[in-house]
């Protein structure tokens, strides 16, 4: 066993030394940070722009604002995506004016004049149509596509927003130009149509998916105050998002000092530095964005939530845990691997194969994200003829065992080996590496943590596992959410009777 | 309110910007970016395309090796010519199950669990599976563990044991998957669309049902495996941190003892072009979006028009800058998901499909917008810019086909497996550059046939705004999952004849078939003692039936009144909390109740859609094509139908009938005891049965 352990350990050291030789880091005068990793195997380069703003920063009443930016990347800039920027700019300002007038009237509530509202709605629609007439459809994405980009996309998490794609390595200047123009001055054209698209995304991911609904309920129940309570934004908030508020949000959070760029692939760092200076250094610096200050009050007892759903039963259980920089963070990763990794994970073994109570049973160590105190979550899909209660009890039984018995050395060693190996597998793709380097730089202060974090995992002992399970997997920190087939109280039909006895 | 002004912003931040300049940053006072059109790019340096030698081993295995020393890893796979297309029609799922239990069921020397622990201790993996047109056993590991992990790989591939307990476990899991298959709305749309376009009764469009699982036994797995897994039918490809010569010797030694022989595997069944175009609707009332799929059969990669069709589909719906994305998402804001693809496969036609989802109220408009875009691409040429973009995109992104050597290995093996030329990808690239606007229009006209489109919508029709019938005739899709049939009776001629005779005895006992046939409507008033999970409860019920298929129930319970109505396809519930559409799960139960309605049940021999089968001296099993099934037990002396046994929501239910009295010449039970899952559920005392009171459809369907 101990020999097994040594091999991946050595590899870690080699990887870090090897990577350090190939990484170049620099920060521009305006605070924007670049990490460049050379990998010359193939003539391609991956770019990952990581902005330290996420849905936790959504202003009150503007949930999904951070998410809207992910959708606005394709809308272009003042130079790409427009037929006539000066005219379009005026037209966009008129849209906002018309929208303000409509809101002023609408928000009068009972005192609003329906005819006036209708008239102002028409005016708004006309203003939007006019602004749209200046749009060069799809131009921004088309330019990037034509240059052979692969994997163009963006994503929003509770803690961050990312924009990424890869290019053939002879065309890297295009990325510097296009992305810097957007970070300098994105144009929120077609904002209100894109808002409808985000509303559709909510319908698809949450309202039409029992698992999405359950997850939303779980987070909203577990967190009273912390913004992690919000899964994708409430419908009413999405429907009222405004472009002028997006401008304000951009000014506050999209400052160069809040943006980290990782570039991985067939790239010359000196050239990358020259392009960075040329295209990014004139973006004005800004004050550091305000931190998210809301702290979840202590939980004083188990919370339970029930979701009426025609679907087959689903169960979610979550325990409060500290954030990713806590000293116990690696212990939670190890616990998660003990519970959920592969076919030897305790949940799969006991619930799925041995007792056959579940079709799927798994855990996740950091839900929905890690920057702030978050959740260690269980999810189970009960098998036919078995119910939520049996699944719930069995999961508690497994946790009780982890509290009373120490995890055996073979299991502990196995999960550590697997965690190390999964790191090595991650090193195989440019885009995956770019995303990891940027993430570790921002969230842990140094990209090297990607490697050194393994040392912390390695130090986790059976005592640590027992201590952390005892401390955090307690009833008073627990939230349970599950589905239930809605039957009106007096039509007992879950067995086929009642409706027609 | 005025918009945020950019020039104010810059002024406010001048001092900071100035500091940047002092630090030596290049920050021209008036920064003016070049246009992307003015950028000049150097020539892309040449891509290294690895050379992949192929070897034929003495036992017939074909071996491909690729050295890749970048990371200390080794991975590989065996590709076997088999597939779920070879599933016997009454054992759909056999290939999938065989592929999975090859790994979980262990080998001659190790159980599945022992393999789990062994490979996971090494942070390695060995997996097996069978898809539509191939079987695959794969492994990956750290370089140091290559020998140990490849030994397991060899055992799984050549000596699987298919232990019974793992087959049982998987069958249980698949039963669960069947029970849950209607919880996922986009899944329903994709599945039903695929099955209709390929044909439900073909190897390409058949779904696994509970009965298939009942039929599949361990011996089927063993036979399936033996038929297809032999060296001459196997290709092995390995890549990673090794020397090719060493690896070749290793593989040769490892598989030297594998010499099974079988007749060559026949060609896969052909796709039979038997489309049943039209508009199909699957009702799902618990979602706020409609998921839709529109399309027809596609083609294969080697079609000479494939490059033109690929460009056509790309312009129509291939990505963020496609027409459908622009129209349905960007301009209309109707959808998050919208796209199209020309479905091509290596060896059989894929499916040309347009898929998306939109809020219920926009269903018709979104489908129409998509169909209009199809019409447009069939009637006028694409623009020069669209074609140029497509070509530029293909040309410039070509390098990503070679950015990882493993992609080349996968391609070489796949081309070999499906008999494509080694340089197919380069031919394709050349052909794309030669496609003209006229080619695209011609291909769209020739291949895309809107009159043959299948449209599948999954959603809540009452929220559609405009009915789907605006588009044409709508065929409903029945999502009912046929209940698992326990020990399905053999319906041979003798049993059928005996079943008919037994049913005749029952008809006689209750008063005669003609008396039963004369019943057009029924009103039953009853007192019910319920044992629910929440305790005991009393109810008064009035059940009205208009035979054969309409049903209304009024219940009075301690908390208030509940009325339920269904015509067998849709329905509603009126409860103290208000009115709501009848949930699908309740509709399924009502369908079972209608099927079991005593008057029609006892006349099942007159219904050609039903099978009446003797399953014992005094037992009849009655079933229909929708998977409903009930066993009726006769009292040996009186021949009265004293028991019914059936499944509801996966639970066994038993009803016992007694206190028979004559009503209008028919003997009817006045006491009914119901057990569910072996536990008492309800006692029913019928106050009276009223027959033929002249109920009209609207008497039942009218809302309170």
In this predicted model, what pLDDT tens digit does every residue of B616-659 receive, in sequence order? 788 888 888 777 888 898 888 888 898 988 877 666 788 999 99
Strands B521-532 vs B679-691: parallel, antiparallel or unpaired: antiparallel
Long-range contacts of B241-246 (CB under 8 A, 24+ apart): B241/B67, B241/B68, B241/B69, B241/B70, B241/B71, B241/B72, B241/B73, B241/B74, B241/B143, B242/B67, B242/B74, B242/B143, B242/B146, B243/B67, B244/B53, B244/B65, B244/B67
Angle between helices A388-404 and A462-472 (to 10 degrees): 130
DSSP characters over A195-254: HHHHHHHHIIIIIT-HHHHHHHHHHHHH-SSSGGG-SS--HHHHTT--HHHHHHHHHHH-
Instruction: Give chain B's count of helices (H) and strands (E).
Output: 22, 27
pLDDT band at B679 (very low <50, low <70, confident <90, very high): confident
**Distance between CA atoms of residues B656 and B634, nearest Å:** 11
The enclosing H or E element of A93 equals helix A85-106
**Distance between CA atoms of residues A463 and B13, nearest Å:** 53
pLDDT band at B25 (very low <50, low <70, confident <90, very high): very low
Mean per-residue pLDDT, B48-65: 93
Distances (CA, A) of A435 to A15, A169, A450, B557: 17, 18, 11, 60
Selected residue with higher pLDDT from B256 and B674: B256
**Distance between CA atoms of residues B432 and B447, nearest Å:** 18
**Distance between CA atoms of residues B363 and B369, nearest Å:** 10
Is residue B23 predicted with pLDDT exceeding 90?
A: no
Q: Which residue from A minimizes the CA distance to B187?
A: A209
**Distance between CA atoms of residues B606 and B655, nearest Å:** 24
Put simply, the chain B residues between 590 and 629 with a CB less than 8 A from any chain A CB are 590, 592-594
Is residue B275 predicted with pLDDT exceeding 60?
A: yes
Contact yes or no for B402 and A42 at CB 8 A: yes
pLDDT at B345: 95
Mean per-residue pLDDT, B284-313: 95
pLDDT at A102: 96
Put simply, the chain A residues between 196 and 235 with a CB less than 8 A from any chain B CB are 196-201, 203-204, 207-210
B2 and chain A in contact, CB less than 8 A: yes
pTM above 0.90, yes or no: no
B645 and chain A in contact, CB less than 8 A: no
Q: Measured between beta carbons, which residues in chain B are less than 8 angstroms from residue A42? A: 47-48, 399, 402-404
Contact yes or no for A42 and B585 at CB 8 A: no
Q: Which residue from B minimizes the CA distance to A4?
A: B122
A414 and chain B in contact, CB less than 8 A: yes
Alpha-carbon gap: B545 to the closest alpha carbon of chain A (Å): 10
**Distance between CA atoms of residues B291 and B251, nearest Å:** 48
pLDDT at B530: 77
Q: What is the dihedral of CA A384, A387, A392, A395, to 10 degrees?
A: -30
Alpha-carbon gap: B273 to the closest alpha carbon of chain A (Å): 33
**Distance between CA atoms of residues A70 and A246, nearest Å:** 12
Is residue B472 predicted with pLDDT exceeding 60?
A: yes
Phi and psi torsions of B451, nearest 5°: -70, -15
DSSP characters over B528-587: EEEEETTEEEEEEEEEEEETTTEEEEEEEETTEEEEEEE-SS-EEEEETTEEEEPPHHHH
A387 and chain B in contact, CB less than 8 A: no
Q: How many residues does chain B have?
A: 704
Q: Measured between beta carbons, which residues in chain B are less than 8 angstroms from residue A385? A: 650-651
Is residue A67 within 8 Å of residue A451, measured between CB atoms? no
Of A80, A103, A78, A113, the closest CA to residue A192 belongs to A103
* Nearest residue, CB atoms, B116 vs list A343, A418, A498: A343
Mean per-residue pLDDT, B465-472: 92
Residues facing residue A123 across a β-bridge: none
> Could you read off the pLDDT tens digit of each residue along chain A, which spans 501 residues?
223 333 343 444 456 788 889 999 999 999 999 999 999 989 999 999 999 999 999 999 999 999 999 999 999 999 999 999 999 999 999 999 999 999 999 999 899 899 999 999 999 999 999 999 999 988 999 999 999 999 999 999 999 999 999 999 999 999 999 999 999 999 999 999 999 999 999 999 999 999 999 999 999 999 999 999 999 999 999 999 999 999 999 999 999 999 999 999 999 999 999 999 999 999 999 999 999 999 999 999 999 999 998 888 999 999 999 999 999 999 999 999 999 999 999 999 999 999 999 999 999 999 999 999 999 999 999 998 899 999 999 999 999 999 999 999 999 999 999 998 888 888 889 999 999 999 999 999 999 999 898 899 999 999 999 999 999 999 999 999 999 877 655 444 444 333 333
Q: Measured between beta carbons, which residues in chain B are less than 8 angstroms from residue A351? A: none
Mean per-residue pLDDT, B171-200: 94
Q: Measured between beta carbons, which residues in chain A are less than 8 angstroms from residue B672? A: 501
Q: Which residue from A minimizes the CA distance to B557?
A: A490
B319 and chain A in contact, CB less than 8 A: yes
Angle between helices B306-317 and B424-434 (to 10 degrees): 70
Is residue B401 within 8 Å of residue B424, measured between CB atoms? no
Contact yes or no for A500 and B400 at CB 8 A: no
**Distance between CA atoms of residues B97 and B221, nearest Å:** 8
Selected residue with higher pLDDT from B593 and B238: B238
Residues contacting residue B578 through CB under 8 Å, at least 6 positions apart:
none
Residue B477 has what DSSP assignment?
P
Contact yes or no for A170 and B557 at CB 8 A: no
As given in the structure block, the two tokens for residue B684 are 């029913």
pLDDT band at B490 (very low <50, low <70, confident <90, very high): low
Side-chain-side CA neighbours of residue A474 (13 Å): 12
pLDDT at A501: 31
Region at B605 (left for phi over 0; alpha for psi -120 to 50; beta for the rest):
alpha
As given in the structure block, the two tokens for residue B126 are 């060995």
* Nearest residue, CB atoms, A279 vs list B33, B72, B325: B33
Is residue B31 predicted with pLDDT exceeding 90?
A: no
b vs e for A259-293, b when ≥16 Cβ sit within 10 Å of the residue's Cβ?
Answer: bbbbbbbbbebeebeebbbbbbbbbbbbeebeebe
Alpha-carbon gap: A72 to the closest alpha carbon of chain B (Å): 11
**Distance between CA atoms of residues A80 and A187, nearest Å:** 10
Mean per-residue pLDDT, B485-492: 53
pLDDT at B29: 52
Q: How many Å from the N-terminal Cα to the C-terminal Cα in chain B?
A: 51
Put simply, the chain B residues between 665 and 684 with a CB less than 8 A from any chain A CB are 672, 674, 676, 681-682, 684
Q: Which residue from B minimizes the CA distance to A490?
A: B557
**What digits encode the pLDDT tens for the residues B538-577?**
888 888 888 888 888 888 877 778 888 888 878 888 877 7
Angle, vertex CA A214, rays to CA A208 and CA A215, nearest 5? 105
Is residue B413 predicted with pLDDT exceeding 90?
A: yes
């Amino acid at each position: 066993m101990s020999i097994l352990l040594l091999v991946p350990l050595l590899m870690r050291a080699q990887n870090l030394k090897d990577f350090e030789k190939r990484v170049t880091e620099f920060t521009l005068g305006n605070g924007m940070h670049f990490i460049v990793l050379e990998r010359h195997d193939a003539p391609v380069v991956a770019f990952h722009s990581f902005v330290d703003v996420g849905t936790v920063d959504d202003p009150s009443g503007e949930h999904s604002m951070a998410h809207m930016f992910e959708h606005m990347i394709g809308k272009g800039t003042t130079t790409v995506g427009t037929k006539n920027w000066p005219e379009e700019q005026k037209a966009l300002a008129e849209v906002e004016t018309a929208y303000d007038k409509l809101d002023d009237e609408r928000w009068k509530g009972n005192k609003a004049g329906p005819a006036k509202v209708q008239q102002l709605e028409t005016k708004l629609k006309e203003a939007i149509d006019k602004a749209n007439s200046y749009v060069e459809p799809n131009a921004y994405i088309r330019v990037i596509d034509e240059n052979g980009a692969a994997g163009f996309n963006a994503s929003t998490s509770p803690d961050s927003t990312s924009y990424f794609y890869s290019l053939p390595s002879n065309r890297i200047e295009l990325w510097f130009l296009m992305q810097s123009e957007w970070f300098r001055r994105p144009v929120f054209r077609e904002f209100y149509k894109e808002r409808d698209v985000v509303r559709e995304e909510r319908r698809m991911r949450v309202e039409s998916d029992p698992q999405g609904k359950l997850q939303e309920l779980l987070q909203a129940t577990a967190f009273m105050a912390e913004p992690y309570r919000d899964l994708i934004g409430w419908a009413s908030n999405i429907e009222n998002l405004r472009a002028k508020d997006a401008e304000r949000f951009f000014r506050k959070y999209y400052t160069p000092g809040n943006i980290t760029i990782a570039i991985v692939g067939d790239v010359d760092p000196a050239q990358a530095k020259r392009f960075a200076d040329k295209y990014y250094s004139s973006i004005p610096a800004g004050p550091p964005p305000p931190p998210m200050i809301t702290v979840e009050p202590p939980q004083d007892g188990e919370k339970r939530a029930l979701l009426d759903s025609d679907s087959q039963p689903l169960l979610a259980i979550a325990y409060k845990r500290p954030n990713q920089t806590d000293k116990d963070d690696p212990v939670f990763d190890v616990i998660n691997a003990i519970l959920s990794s592969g076919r030897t994970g305790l949940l799969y073994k006991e619930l799925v194969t041995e007792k056959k109570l579940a079709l799927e049973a798994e855990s996740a160590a950091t839900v929905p994200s890690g920057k702030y105190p978050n959740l260690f979550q269980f999810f189970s899909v009960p098998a036919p003829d078995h119910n939520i209660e049996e699944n719930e009890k069995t999961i508690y039984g497994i946790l009780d065992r982890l509290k009373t018995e120490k995890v055996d050395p073979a299991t502990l060693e196995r999960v550590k080996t697997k965690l190390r190996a999964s790191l090595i597998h991650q090193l195989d793709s440019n885009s995956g590496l770019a995303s990891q380097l940027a993430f570790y730089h921002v969230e842990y202060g140094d990209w090297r943590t990607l490697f050194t974090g393994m040392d912390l995992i390695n130090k986790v002992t059976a005592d640590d596992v027992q201590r952390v399970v005892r401390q955090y997997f307690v009833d008073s920190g627990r939230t349970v959410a599950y589905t239930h087939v809605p039957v009106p109280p007096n039509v007992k039909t879950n067995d086929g009777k009642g409706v027609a006895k | 309110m005025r918009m945020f002004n950019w020039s104010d912003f810059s002024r406010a931040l001048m001092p900071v910007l100035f500091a940047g300049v002092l630090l030596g940053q290049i920050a021209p006072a008036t920064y003016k970016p070049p246009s992307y059109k003015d950028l000049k790019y150097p020539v892309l340096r040449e891509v290294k395309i690895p050379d992949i030698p192929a070897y034929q081993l003495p036992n017939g295995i074909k071996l491909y090796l690729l050295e890749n020393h970048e990371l200390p890893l080794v991975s590989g796979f065996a590709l076997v010519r088999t597939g779920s297309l070879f599933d016997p029609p009454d054992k759909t799922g056999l290939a999938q199950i065989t592929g999975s239990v090859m790994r979980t069921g262990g080998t001659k020397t190790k159980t599945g669990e022992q393999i789990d622990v062994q490979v996971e201790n090494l942070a390695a993996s060995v997996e097996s599976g069978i898809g539509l047109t191939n079987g695959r056993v794969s492994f990956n590991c750290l370089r140091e563990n290559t020998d140990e992990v490849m030994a397991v790989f060899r055992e799984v591939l050549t000596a699987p044991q298919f232990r019974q307990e793992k087959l049982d476990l998987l069958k249980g899991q698949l039963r669960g998957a069947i029970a849950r298959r209607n919880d996922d709305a986009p899944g329903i749309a994709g599945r039903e669309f695929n099955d209709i376009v390929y044909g439900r009764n073909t190897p390409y469009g058949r779904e696994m049902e509970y009965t298939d699982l009942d039929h599949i036994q361990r011996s089927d797995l063993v036979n399936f495996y033996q038929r297809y897994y032999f060296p001459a039918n196997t290709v092995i490809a390995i890549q990673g941190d090794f020397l090719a010569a060493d690896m070749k010797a290793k593989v040769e030694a490892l598989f030297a003892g594998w010499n099974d022989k079988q007749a060559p595997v026949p060609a896969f069944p052909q796709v039979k072009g038997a489309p049943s175009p039209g508009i199909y609707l699957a009702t799902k009332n618990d979602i706020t979006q409609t998921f839709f799929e529109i399309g027809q059969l596609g083609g294969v990669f080697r079609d000479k028009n494939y490059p033109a069709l690929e460009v056509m589909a790309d312009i129509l719906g291939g990505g963020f800058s496609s027409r459908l994305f622009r129209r349905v998402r960007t301009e209309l804001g109707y959808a998050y998901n919208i796209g199209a693809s020309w479905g091509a496969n290596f060896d059989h036609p894929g499916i040309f499909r347009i898929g998306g989802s939109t809020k219920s109220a926009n269903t018709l408009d979104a489908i129409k917008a998509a169909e209009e875009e199809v019409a447009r691409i069939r009637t006028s040429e694409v623009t020069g810019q669209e074609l140029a973009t497509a070509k530029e995109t293909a040309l410039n992104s070509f390098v990503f086909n070679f950015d990882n050597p493993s992609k080349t290995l996968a391609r070489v093996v796949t081309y070999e497996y499906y008999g494509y030329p080694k340089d197919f990808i380069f031919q394709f690239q050349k052909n794309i550059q030669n496609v003209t606007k006229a080619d695209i229009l011609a291909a769209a006209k020739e291949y895309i046939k809107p009159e043959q489109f299948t449209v599948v919508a999954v959603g809540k029709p009452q929220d559609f705004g405009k009915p789907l019938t605006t588009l044409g005739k709508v065929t409903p899709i029945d999502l009912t999952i046929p209940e698992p049939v326990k020990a399905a009776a053999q319906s041979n001629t003798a049993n059928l004849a005996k079943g008919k005779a037994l049913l005749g005895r029952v008809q006689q006992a209750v008063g005669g078939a003609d008396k039963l046939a004369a019943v057009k409507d029924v009103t039953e008033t009853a007192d019910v003692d319920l044992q629910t999970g929440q305790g005991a409860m009393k109810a008064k019920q009035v059940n009205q039936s208009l035979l054969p298929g309409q049903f209304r129930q009024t219940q009075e319970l301690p908390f208030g009144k509940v009325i339920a109505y269904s015509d067998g396809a849709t329905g509603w519930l009126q409860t103290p909390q208000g009115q709501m559409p009848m949930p699908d799960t309740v509709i399924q139960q009502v369908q079972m109740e209608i099927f079991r309605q005593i008057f029609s049940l006892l006349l099942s021999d007159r219904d050609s859609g039903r099978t009446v089968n003797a399953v014992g001296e005094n037992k009849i099993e009655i079933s229909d094509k929708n998977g409903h099934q009930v066993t009726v037990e006769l009292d040996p002396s009186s021949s009265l139908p004293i028991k019914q046994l059936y499944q509801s929501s996966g639970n066994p239910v038993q009803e016992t009938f007694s206190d028979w009295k004559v009503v209008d010449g028919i003997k009817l039970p006045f006491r009914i005891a119901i057990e569910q899952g072996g536990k008492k559920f309800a006692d029913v005392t019928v106050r009276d049965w009223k027959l033929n009171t002249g109920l009209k459809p609207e008497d039942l369907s009218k809302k309170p």
